[in-house]
Amino acid sequence: MSTPTNRDTWLAELRSRIPEIAPAEALGRQAQGALLIDVREDGERASGMPAGALGLSRGFLELRIEQAEPDRARPILALCGSGMRSLLAAEALQRLGYRDVRSVAGGFERWKSEGLPIVAGALDADAAERYARQLRLPQVGEAGQARLGATKIVLLGAGGLGAPAALYLAAAGVGQLTLIDDDRVERSNLHRQVIHADARVGMAKTESARIALNALNPRVHIELRNERLRADNVERLLDGHDLVIDGADNFPARYLLAAATQRLKLPMVYGAVERFTGQLSVFDPRRDDSPCYRCLFPEPPSAAEAPNCSEAGVLGVLPGIVGLLQATEALKLILGLGEPLVGRLLSFDALGMRFRETRLPRDPACPGCGATAHFSGYEDVAAFCAAAG
C-alpha cells in the first residue's frame, strides 16, 4: 500500500529540483537557441516528433549527449511521451553537469494537442525496429539511415562477392540494389554463393538473389538486369546509381566497369579472390587523389596469369570475407564514415590469416585516369581486353 505514496513523493521531489515548462514556452526557448531533446524510443518517434528536436532515446542519453552537445551551458529541454521520463532525463543531465535543464510538461501528447509544429518521423515503426542496433550508433542515427534508404547501389555479379555484399547491404537498409548477372545457379556455386539455394539450381542468379534478399528485407527495392556487361550497355546499366560493387569474374567486364565508373564519377568498390587470397580497394573518381583500377592493372593479365575460380578453385569462405569487406566500404562511403580504402590495396591471406596493406597512389601516366589518358570508346576497351586475353 505504500508504493503509490513513495512514487508520488519521489515525483514531487524530482519536480522540486527539475523546472517544468509548458510546450509553448519550450517552443519559444527552442527558437532562442535551446536544444530540445526527444527522449522517447525510436519506435515512438516514428509517428512524429517536435520540429527541430534531437531524437535521443532515454536509455542512451548519458552515453551520447556529450557527442550531441558538449556545451554544458546551453539550455536543454527534455521531452518524452507524457512528461515522466523527461524528468528522469533532466535529472541525469543535471548530474552530468548541464546547468540549465528543464522538462516539458505533458510531453509530446500535450505538444501535439496544442498544435505546435511537428515533423513526420524519418522512420516508421518497422524501420525503427529493424535497424534498431544500427540506429543507436551516433554516426548513423536516423539521418544516416535515411541516407542509406535513398541510396542506389549496382552490383556487378550475383556470385561469390556479390552474394555476401548484397545480403548485408540489404540488411543495412540500402534503398535499391541493382543486380547485373546473366548466369544461372549451378550446384557448384553453392559452397560460396550463399545467397542461392539448392532448390533454385537452374534459376537465373538475379531472380534467385531477389528471392533471398526480399525474404531478408522486403523494404529494399531489387532491380534485376539479366544481361552481361558489354560495351553497348555499360553506361545504361550503371547510370542513375550512387556506387558500384565490383563482383566481376572476368577482366573484360572489369575494365569496362572501370572505364564507365571513371566517366560517370561513380565510386567503385573493387574486390577479387583466388584460391586462398583476396584483395580489396576503393576507386573514387570524385576525388582528385584517387587512383583508378588501371593504376593497379594498366593492362589485363593473361588467362594463365589470372585464372578464374572455376579453373584455379577458391576456398568457399574467402569470397564471403572479401564481399563483406566490400559491403563495409560501401556503407562507409554512403555514410561518410571513417577512412575508405582510397589509395590503398588491402590483401588477405586466409592460410596465414594475415591482412597486408599496400599504398596505391594515383599514377600520373595511367591510361585510365592520367593526364594524357584518352577515352576512345567502350568498344575499344572491350577489344583491348580481348586482345590481351
Catalytic residues: 309
**DSSP readout, 359-377?**
E-PPPTT-TTTSTT-----
- CA nearest neighbour of 243 among 326, 161, 359: 326
Q: Pull the grid cell for residue 223.
A: 532491380
| Residue in this structure with the C-alpha cell 524510443, named with its chain if needed | 41
The CA-to-CA distance between both ends of the chain, in Å, stands at 86
H/E stretch holding 3 reads helix 3-17
Measured distance CA(241)–CA(267) in Å, rounded: 10
Residue type, 1: M
Find out whether 80 and 110 touch, Cβ atoms under 8 Å. Answer: no
CA separation, residue 154 to residues 27, 257, 269 (Å): 44, 11, 11
CA separation, residue 148 to residues 46, 170, 204, 294 (Å): 17, 10, 27, 29
Q: How many CB atoms lie within 10 A of CB 26?
A: 24
- CA nearest neighbour of 271 among 353, 173, 157, 101: 157
Measured distance CA(332)–CA(139) in Å, rounded: 10
Beta-strand (E) ranges in the chain? 20-21, 35-38, 49-50, 54-55, 76-79, 101-104, 118-119, 152-156, 176-180, 221-225, 243-246, 268-274, 277-283, 344-349, 354-359
Q: Is 316 helix (H, G, I), strand (E, B) or coil?
A: coil
